[in-house]
Amino acid sequence: MSFNSPFYALFLFIVAVIYWAIPAQIELRLLLILASSLIFYSSLQWYYIPLFLIITVINWQLGKSLAPAKSSSSAPASQSHQYKQNHQRKKILLGLGIALNILVLVGFKYIPFFLGSIAGLYQQFTGFPLEITQNSSQWVMDNLVVPLGISFFTFESIAYLVDSFKGQIISGSLLQFTAYKLFFPKFISGPITPYDDFYRQVKQQSPPQLYQLSEAVWLIAIGIIKKALLADRLGILVDLCFSNAERAGSVDLWLGIIAYGFQLYLDFSGYVNMARGSAMLLGFNLPENFDFPYFSTSIGDFWRRWHMTLGSWLRQYLYFPLGGSRVGLARTCSNLLVVMLIAGIWHGAAWGFLVWGGLHGLALALHRLTEVLSRRSPSLQKFWQHPGGVLLAWFLTQSMVFLTWVFFRLPNLEQSGLVLSHLWGHQGDIQFAEQVYQGTIGLDPLQLLTLMAILWCFLTLNFCIERTLKLQLNWHLKLFLIPLVLLSVWLLAPEGGLPYIYFDF
């Protein structure tokens, strides 16, 4: 059941109607959320429901056990000593809980990668294949399907355990926690949502007003048009270029890279729009996940505006515990590199994701060094504030972002290396060009580039309206435009559609 399918629309409508028809009893509504979430996930991978339920119960019990006990400064020495012992035991329990969640993630997602890497290193150093490891890796790849949503599920679980240990959240009932963990709008691809946000909103719900309903449906409609009409169209070109990289010329590959950058943003931000709109129909506000990232003028700014909930998680639960920027410039740069390497491998079990994360980590470290130099040099700081400096910073940032998307799209280093080596002066296969531009797409490269430039102009206009002028469409106009948006998708979207990109992560 895909977000942009008619079946999901009917499912969401039925759930929302029943949800608000139920008397204002939290337990009944939570039961409905849980039941509908199980139905939703069953339409995708029913056989993993017991796994997620078991892990949810374990994490809930761990969270209750980790809640800190109150200690008084006037307490006797024996009680103070006991408090310290309990605190130490809870630190060990926290470590075990985090390890358990990571072990589940690694067990399902990374075993073939580890086995294949070991076999590859063994063959490189000895000259002989390690057949047992290779066969085991292939068997796991052929027989083990990665549970959808396991990466987002794991990060939310770790955040819950850490926040429980710090005493920053109130541990609710098992029903509340299970409904939060399996909440279908965010379950598969986020946004990563703190438990206390969900818990607070459960307590403060009221039936949505007409303007709130129009905003929710508007978000869903915009998400559909981003995904079905724009991202899937771009995906056709991307698949043709990167699936036939050895036959594509430099112009084809550059078009593919630009198209993939747009496709990835529109696909994932469209998903988040639909997730937020779906949750809003049930009285929940999920966090924003994108804030015009392709208008960032530094890589640091990009990561504050791209996949914002992931960036926030990385800062709060990895970067700050490592010392953040309080441990000197060298340690700060190494912390940035470590965090981004983890972000890379979190996205997928392949060397390309590690390279992607490492390059972003190096770029963040370089940005930090540039900031330090700029503070020491008034002329350099003035240059970066000049319109020409801002434009240069934007160009360098986005060039780095779009080029590293190659490793994201082709995590096999042999394939991504082939694309990068053919970016300049490589003549493509004439038959390939005819098949792509004349046979499949019906547009030549210049026309495709013009269409992507028009798309960029629309994004720029939207950015100027929302961020510069601070203007928003009123809900009456949105209500009028929603049928037109959905009609355009029905008439113009390609048949079939492509799966959501972030379902793989």
Structure tokens at 35: 């039941």
Q: Are residues 435 and 483 in the same domain?
A: yes
Amino acid 442: pLDDT: 85
The mean pLDDT value for 191-199 works out to 91
Q: By C-alpha distance, which of 366, 280, 273, 272 is closest to 310?
A: 272
What is the distance between the alpha carbons of residues 331 and 323, in angstroms, rounded to a whole number? 8
Q: 370-387: buried (b, 16+ CB within 10 Å) or exposed (e) per residue? A: beeebeeeeeeeeebeee
**Mapped to the 3 state alphabet, what secondary structure does 73-142 carry?**
CCCCHHHHHHHHHHHHHHHHHHHHHHHHHHHHHHHHHCHHHHHHHHHHHHHHHHCCCCHHHHHHHHHHHH
46 located within any domain: yes
- Give 408-431 pLDDT, tens digit per residue: 999 999 999 999 999 998 888 888
Amino acid 62: pLDDT: 94
Final residue before a domain boundary, out of 205, 237, 266: 205
Amino acid 87: pLDDT: 82
Q: Is the pLDDT of residue 383 over 70?
A: yes
**Banded pLDDT at 143 (limits 50, 70, 90):** low
Q: Are residues 224 and 328 in the same domain?
A: no
Q: Are residues 282 and 316 in the same domain?
A: no
The mean pLDDT value for 310-329 works out to 91
- State phi, psi for 144 to the nearest 5 degrees: -110, 120
Q: Are residues 110 and 239 in the same domain?
A: no
Final residue before a domain boundary, out of 205, 234, 252: 205
Three-state secondary-structure class, residue 488: helix
The mean pLDDT value for 253-272 works out to 95
Q: Are residues 47 and 128 in the same domain?
A: yes
17 located within any domain: no
Q: Are residues 358 and 484 in the same domain?
A: no
* DSSP string covering 280-296: HHTT--PPP--S-GGG-
Domain of 398, in residue numbers: 293-409
- State phi, psi for 10 to the nearest 5 degrees: -65, -45
Amino acid 443: pLDDT: 86
CB 164 within 8 A of CB 67: yes
Q: Are residues 45 and 161 in the same domain?
A: yes
CB atoms within 10 A of CB 391: 11
What's the structural domain count of the chain?
A: 3
Q: Are residues 107 and 93 in the same domain?
A: yes
356 located within any domain: yes
Mean pLDDT over each residue of the chain, to the nearest integer: 88
Q: Are residues 477 and 354 in the same domain?
A: no
Q: Are residues 265 and 345 in the same domain?
A: no
Q: Are residues 136 and 33 in the same domain?
A: yes
178 located within any domain: yes
4 located within any domain: no
Final residue before a domain boundary, out of 163, 181, 205: 205
- Give 100-136 pLDDT, tens digit per residue: 999 999 888 888 777 766 666 656 666 655 566 556 5
8 located within any domain: no
Q: Is the pLDDT of residue 81 over 90?
A: no
Choice between 327 and 116, residue whose per-residue pLDDT is larger: 327
Q: Are residues 297 and 402 in the same domain?
A: yes
**Catalytic residues, which ones?**
347
7 located within any domain: no
15 located within any domain: no
**Banded pLDDT at 171 (limits 50, 70, 90):** confident
